[in-house]
């Protein structure tokens, strides 16, 4: 939309300063957090005594609620009610609010439309028109809390080159789409012209458009002609030589001085070009030796491939990336594994895929579909021509068997069978003529290749979805103890021999062979509060874990009306009844009031009749209770239940408004106390209760959380799997609904454009025929929900954002911070609570190891570093506010610390403040009695987004899969690039308010 039109839009231009408004409530000073000792820290008495019995009602007094109702519905949900002051939980010591570090944001009008109940909806999709003042939060110092120790990190110091690095543009004609072919062309060019035209320079090439050299080439522009033998020529002709024109043109010189200043912390902006050149240089030799996939390299020679089943195998490899850190340039090396297609004869691959002997019987239609999907796009080489191993890419599968296939051999439409052709042309007798042929080439001129004459080319990464057996097999390969992983990383560095790498030598890059030693601290575990009636009223976790023995949930909920559906044929009614009784007892022991008798007898149903069964139980129970709805539905599922789980959740949460708890058959038979205790925790939070809270939270001692009403958000976007090119991405946002406890969360989900990382529904406006311009969106709804639940307006926002890569930091912060601002401003003029925006990353390759693997006191049982280990120096960003936190105890494999990057901080957190808060929150995850690896709001957002994909499943299914191709999927979603996507079905109101995704 042109700027001129934007100014004429019905929504006003909104300029928001990030400085706090004078009208904002004063902030109280929080008492210091107690350190760990022999007993729990004694809470300072608050002004209002805290409930010792379960306090399920956190909403304001009934008088206030009555006044709100009398104001009228339409205006109230635009913000009047939201901003009325009410009673506070904690005592307040007044102090002025400090000014913020950040500058101003200018918010612009919306663009784009999607359908929403017949109204024209305008989601806020444009970035602020001015962002010059937007820069990431600088590091305010280093943390001091916790026991100091040394850990090792898989970062290897890289010495900066002292040479000028030059970039050249490469144009290859005719244009080539394959990086492999591009590399072959440039390798031939370097072989022919290195000593002459290239002035003995050994350039590094990115496989696309850029060439890099250490020092200048003898020319600024030059054209070369390169001949290359085509290995993948057509089926009939001899190998052809292809000629390419290559033009190399000087573009720029990399600023190594800028890079040096950035690494020294004297400049805040990273010189991406210089870093990219160094990365490409160090990847050049490995790209020739191994199979490159993204930033990783794989080879069957690194370790013997392991079979995963269905024609797949795992290859071991390593990840490599150059990173700017406080210690200077660092080369991050980690071990990696990936699924590859096994280089088998095609017939053998098909036999594995179908799990049957394909030589004896004809294929069914479903077999044919399965083979076609598995082999489409896969490269094969022919085996019937001796040493001639031509390669082709499979485009399809013939619908007829080989014996029925004929094709024209001349312009007179004379036909010849495939069997005759291969016999006459190559002397090759096709044995298995009942099998179809592979089609190679395009659909207009497809060539036929008999399956038995083809073998799959080695080194092809498998990018589609793995089944459960394959995932289990791959995890066995990748799951390494820390000591073994560390040794493999060191061995990889030695094998790569960077000191002998001709490209590293050419560019003057030197790599250390030692793991970086890093100073770390182990943050203390927080004290947890349980109910006063339990034998243990509080608890100090040991090595990241504890249990529910002698403890009762701090807010145990009541379950009076429940029912059970049994979808498992192998579970007899008596077994199901016994399991339900045991679960009821465990819920009671844990502190819930749980009716031991279901509303109606346990109902047996077949999985294929899930909708009919759920509605029958729902209505039968309602008839029995004279109109009162079920509070909980237990469902016993077969261990392998296909789409049953997703269908059940979709129907319960978007159609019936039922909270459900699913249990697998294997657990029903085993009835383990640990399992029942975990299920009872999940049931309690789904019903709106709390299992435990931080002792410091209820005694108002969490800095920058306890002083004023604070809301903590978690947000995540999950994208469809590779190969699904039209199904939408799912965004989820959760927000705390209690204060000062910050333990209960409500969640909202929405579908958005395919692979769109920015959360589009954080804030939106649309035109209502009666109300005019109406504001909405997930942030606004959750702020209003917090106000209704606590009687407080949030005066501080902490926003944990999951799933953002480094390249998207700026874009996501700019757009989503703006949406938060607008959501707040739509509730009341000048309402702008300070925001801290933190990106949470798990998909990184930094691993931390104990300094001494023989020192058991420095590790947990699995040999990993201790929970609470935090690192904010040396391997972290040179100037920005980030840290690594391993908040959990390892179970198996090597623990992956979470990386937290504070992009925006108007609350002026100290390093200790944000690190301790994040670590302590990891002990409040509702589904288990362990600290978790990612801060719970981010974890919950991920669970909610994952759950929401089930809501669209029936629209996406085709032949039992969730591919976004032809059939129902095309109706369910608009293709990427179109103006909108089909919205998810709405969650029922009673589901939205609780942690349904648990």
pLDDT digits (tens, 9 = 90+) for 176-232: 888 989 999 999 999 999 999 999 999 999 999 999 999 999 999 999 999 998 655
Give the mean pLDDT of the chain.
Answer: 85
For the segment 789-806, the average pLDDT, to the nearest whole number, is 96
What pTM was estimated for this model as a whole? 0.85
Is the pLDDT at 52 greater than 50? The verdict is no
Q: Is 461 left (phi over 0), alpha (psi -120 to 50) or beta?
A: beta
For the segment 320-333, the average pLDDT, to the nearest whole number, is 96
676 and 566 inside one domain:
yes
Is the pLDDT at 15 greater than 60? The verdict is no
pLDDT of residue 133: 57
189 lies in a domain? yes
Is the pLDDT at 899 greater than 90? The verdict is yes
pLDDT of residue 956: 44
Contact status, residue 24 vs residue 833, Cβ threshold 8 Å: yes
Is the pLDDT at 913 greater than 90? The verdict is yes
Please measure the distance between the N-terminal and C-terminal CA atoms of the chain and give it in whole angstroms. Answer: 42
Q: Encoding tokens for residue 223?
A: 């054209």
250 and 350 inside one domain:
no
For the segment 43-69, the average pLDDT, to the nearest whole number, is 40
Comparison of pLDDT for 248 and 124, the residue scoring more: 248
State the CB neighbour count (10 A cutoff) for residue 851: 17
Which range, of 69-73, 224-228, 323-327, averages the lowest pLDDT? 69-73
pLDDT of residue 445: 59
Share of the chain above pLDDT 90, in %: 73
560 and 683 inside one domain:
yes
Identify the band that residue 980 occupies on the pLDDT scale cut at 50, 70 and 90. low
User: Each residue of 365-388: pLDDT tens digit?
Assistant: 999 999 999 999 999 999 988 878
365 lies in a domain? yes
User: Each residue of 823-865: pLDDT tens digit?
Assistant: 999 999 999 999 999 999 999 999 999 999 989 899 999 999 9
pLDDT of residue 44: 44
Is the pLDDT at 390 greater than 50? The verdict is yes
How many domains are there within the chain? 3
CA–CA gap between residue 58 and residue 419 (Å, rounded): 79
CA–CA gap between residue 556 and residue 569 (Å, rounded): 33
**Domain boundary residue, one of 222, 254, 286:** 254
Range of the domain at 239: 162-254
152-156, 394-398, 640-644: which is most confident: 152-156
pLDDT of residue 82: 57
Is the pLDDT at 67 greater than 90? The verdict is no
**CA 544 to centroid of chain Cα atoms:** 24
645 lies in a domain? yes
Angle 365-375/346-354 helices, nearest 10 degrees?
A: 120
pLDDT of residue 632: 97
Spell 27-62 as b/e; 16+ CB within 10 A means b. bbebbebbeeeeebbebeebeeebeeebeeebebee
197 lies in a domain? yes
- Cα 332 to Cα 157, 380, 434, 983: the distances in Å are 9, 35, 52, 41
Which range, of 290-304, 413-427, 721-735, 943-957, averages the lowest pLDDT? 943-957
The edge-to-edge listing of strands for the beta sheet with 538-539 is 538-539, 528-529, 693-694
Is the pLDDT at 989 greater than 50? The verdict is yes
570 and 680 inside one domain:
yes
pLDDT of residue 722: 74
Which range, of 186-190, 717-721, 779-783, 811-815, averages the lowest pLDDT? 717-721
pLDDT of residue 388: 80
CA–CA gap between residue 137 and residue 537 (Å, rounded): 40
CA–CA gap between residue 371 and residue 362 (Å, rounded): 13
Spell 759-775 as b/e; 16+ CB within 10 A means b. bbbbbbbbeeeeeeebb
pLDDT of residue 229: 81
CA–CA gap between residue 870 and residue 886 (Å, rounded): 6
The values of phi and psi at residue 298, to 5°, are -130, 155
202 lies in a domain? yes
Question: If DSSP states are collapsed to H, E and C, what string results for 395-447?
Answer: EEEEEEEHHHCEEECCCCCCEEEHHHHHHHHHCCCCCCCCCEEEEECCCCCCE
Which CATH number does the domain housing residue 368 bear? 2.170.260.10
pLDDT of residue 33: 41
Is the pLDDT at 723 greater than 70? The verdict is no
Identify the band that residue 118 occupies on the pLDDT scale cut at 50, 70 and 90. very low
244 and 356 inside one domain:
no
**Domain boundary residue, one of 652, 687, 722:** 687
Identify the band that residue 61 occupies on the pLDDT scale cut at 50, 70 and 90. very low
For the segment 562-584, the average pLDDT, to the nearest whole number, is 97
635 lies in a domain? yes
SS3 484: helix
652 lies in a domain? yes
Which CATH number does the domain housing residue 640 bear? 3.40.50.2300
pLDDT of residue 147: 97
For 887, counting Cβ atoms within 10 Å of its Cβ (0-12 exposed, 13-18 middle, 19+ buried), the class is: buried
User: Each residue of 266-322: pLDDT tens digit?
Assistant: 998 888 889 999 999 999 999 999 999 999 999 999 999 999 999 999 999 999 999
836 lies in a domain? no
pLDDT of residue 16: 35
Identify the band that residue 726 occupies on the pLDDT scale cut at 50, 70 and 90. confident
CA–CA gap between residue 434 and residue 640 (Å, rounded): 34
**Domain boundary residue, one of 254, 277, 307:** 254
pLDDT of residue 231: 56
562 and 678 inside one domain:
yes
How many helices (H) and strands (E) the chain has is answered by 25, 47
Element (H, E) at 93: none
Contact status, residue 596 vs residue 577, Cβ threshold 8 Å: no
């Amino acid at each position: 939309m042109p700027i001129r039109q934007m100014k004429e839009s019905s929504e006003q231009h909104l300029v928001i300063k990030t400085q706090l408004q004078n009208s904002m409530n004063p902030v109280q000073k929080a008492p210091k957090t107690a350190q760990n000792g022999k007993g729990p820290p004694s809470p300072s008495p608050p002004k209002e005594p805290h409930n010792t019995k379960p306090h399920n009602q956190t909403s304001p007094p009934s008088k206030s609620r009555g006044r709100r109702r009398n104001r009228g519905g339409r205006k109230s949900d635009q913000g009047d009610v939201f901003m009325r002051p009410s009673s506070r939980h904690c005592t307040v010591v007044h102090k002025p609010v400090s000014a913020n570090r950040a500058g101003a944001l200018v918010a612009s009008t919306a663009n784009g439309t999607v359908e929403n109940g017949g109204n024209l909806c305008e989601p806020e999709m444009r970035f602020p028109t001015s962002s010059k003042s937007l820069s990431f939060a600088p590091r305010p110092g280093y943390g001091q809390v916790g026991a100091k120790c040394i850990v090792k990190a898989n970062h290897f110091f890289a010495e900066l080159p002292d040479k000028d690095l030059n970039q050249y543009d490469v144009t290859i004609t005719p244009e080539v789409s394959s990086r492999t072919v591009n590399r072959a062309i440039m390798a031939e060019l370097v072989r022919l012209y290195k000593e002459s035209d290239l002035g003995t320079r050994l350039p590094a090439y990115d496989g696309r458009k850029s060439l890099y050299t250490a020092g200048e080439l003898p020319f600024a522009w030059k054209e070369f002609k390169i001949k290359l033998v085509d290995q993948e020529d057509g089926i009939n002709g001899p190998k052809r030589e292809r000629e390419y024109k290559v033009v190399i043109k000087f573009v720029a010189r990399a600023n190594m001085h800028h890079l040096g200043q950035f690494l020294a912390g004297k400049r805040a902006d990273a010189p991406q070009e210089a870093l990219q050149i160094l990365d490409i240089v160090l990847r050049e030799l490995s790209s020739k030796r191994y199979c490159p996939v993204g930033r990783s390299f794989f080879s069957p020679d690194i370790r013997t491939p392991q079979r995963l089943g269905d024609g797949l195998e795992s290859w071991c490899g390593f990840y490599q990336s150059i990173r700017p850190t406080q210690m200077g340039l660092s080369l991050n090396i980690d071990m990696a594994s990936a699924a590859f297609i096994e280089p088998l004869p095609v017939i053998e691959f098909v036999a594995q895929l179908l799990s049957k002997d394909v030589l004896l019987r004809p294929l069914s239609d479903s077999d044919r579909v399965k083979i076609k999907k598995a082999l489409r796009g896969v490269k094969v080489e022919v085996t019937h021509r001796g040493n001639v191993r031509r390669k082709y890419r499979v485009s399809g599968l013939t619908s007829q068997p080989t014996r029925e296939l004929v094709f024209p051999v001349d312009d007179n439409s004379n036909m010849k069978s495939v069997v005759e052709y291969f016999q006459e042309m190559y002397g090759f007798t096709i044995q298995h003529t009942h099998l179809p042929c592979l089609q190679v080439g395009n659909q207009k001129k497809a060539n036929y290749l008999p399956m038995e004459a083809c073998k799959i080319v080695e080194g092809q990464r498998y990018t589609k979805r793995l089944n459960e057996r394959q995932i289990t097999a791959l995890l066995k390969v990748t799951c390494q103890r820390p000591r073994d992983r560390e040794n493999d990383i060191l061995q990889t560095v030695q094998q790569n021999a960077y000191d002998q790498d001709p490209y590293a030598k050419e560019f003057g890059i030197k790599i250390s062979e030692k793991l970086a030693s890093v100073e770390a601290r182990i943050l203390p575990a927080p004290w947890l509060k349980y109910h006063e009636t339990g034998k243990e009223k509080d608890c100090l976790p040991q090595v990241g874990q504890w249990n529910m023995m002698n403890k009762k949930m701090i807010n145990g909920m009541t379950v009076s009306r429940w029912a059970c559906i049994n979808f498992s044929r192998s579970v007899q009614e008596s077994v199901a009844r016994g399991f339900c009784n045991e679960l009821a007892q465990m819920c009671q022991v844990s502190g819930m009031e749980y009716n031991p008798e279901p509303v109606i007898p346990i109902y047996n149903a077949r999985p294929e009749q899930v909708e009919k069964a759920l509605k029958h139980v729902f209505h039968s129970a309602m008839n029995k209770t004279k109109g009162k709805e079920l509070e909980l539905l237990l469902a016993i599922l077969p261990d392998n239940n296909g789409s049953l789980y997703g269908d059940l959740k979709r129907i319960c949460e978007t159609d019936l408004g039922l909270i459900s708890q699913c249990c697998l058959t294997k657990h029903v038979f085993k009835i383990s106390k640990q399992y029942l205790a975990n299920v009872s925790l999940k049931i309690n939070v789904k019903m709106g209760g709390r299992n435990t809270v931080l002792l410091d939270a209820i005694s108002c001692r969490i800095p920058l959380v306890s002083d004023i009403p604070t809301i903590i958000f978690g947000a995540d976007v999950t994208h469809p799997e590779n190969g699904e090119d039209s199904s939408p991405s799912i965004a989820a946002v959760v927000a705390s609904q209690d204060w000062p406890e910050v333990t209960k969360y409500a969640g909202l989900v929405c579908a958005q454009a395919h692979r769109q990382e920015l959360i589009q529904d954080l804030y939106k406006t649309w035109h209502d025929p009666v109300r005019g311009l109406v504001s909405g969106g997930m942030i606004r709804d959750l702020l209003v929900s917090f106000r209704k639940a606590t009687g407080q307006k949030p005066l501080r926002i902490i926003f944990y954002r999951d799933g953002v890569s480094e390249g998207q930091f700026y874009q996501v912060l700019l757009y989503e911070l703006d949406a938060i601002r607008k959501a707040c401003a739509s509730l009341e003029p000048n309402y702008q609570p300070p925001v801290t925006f933190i990106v949470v990353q798990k998909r990184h390759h930094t691993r931390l190891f104990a300094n001494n693997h023989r020192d058991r006191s420095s590790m947990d049982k699995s040999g990993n570093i201790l929970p609470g280990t935090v690192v904010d120096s040396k391997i972290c960003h040179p100037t920005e506010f980030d840290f690594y936190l391993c908040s959990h105890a390892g179970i198996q494999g090597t623990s992956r610390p979470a990386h937290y990057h504070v992009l925006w901080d108007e609350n002026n957190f100290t390093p200790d403040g944000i690190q301790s808060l994040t670590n302590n929150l990891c002990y409040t995850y509702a589904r288990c009695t362990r600290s978790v690896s990612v801060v719970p709001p981010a974890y919950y957002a991920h669970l909610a987004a994952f759950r929401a994909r089930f809501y669209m499943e029936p629209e996406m299914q085709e032949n039992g899969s969730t591919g976004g191709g032809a059939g129902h999927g095309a109706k369910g979603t608009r293709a990427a690039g179109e103006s909108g996507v089909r919205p998810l079905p709405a969650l029922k109101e009673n589901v939205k308010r609780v942690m349904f995704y648990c």
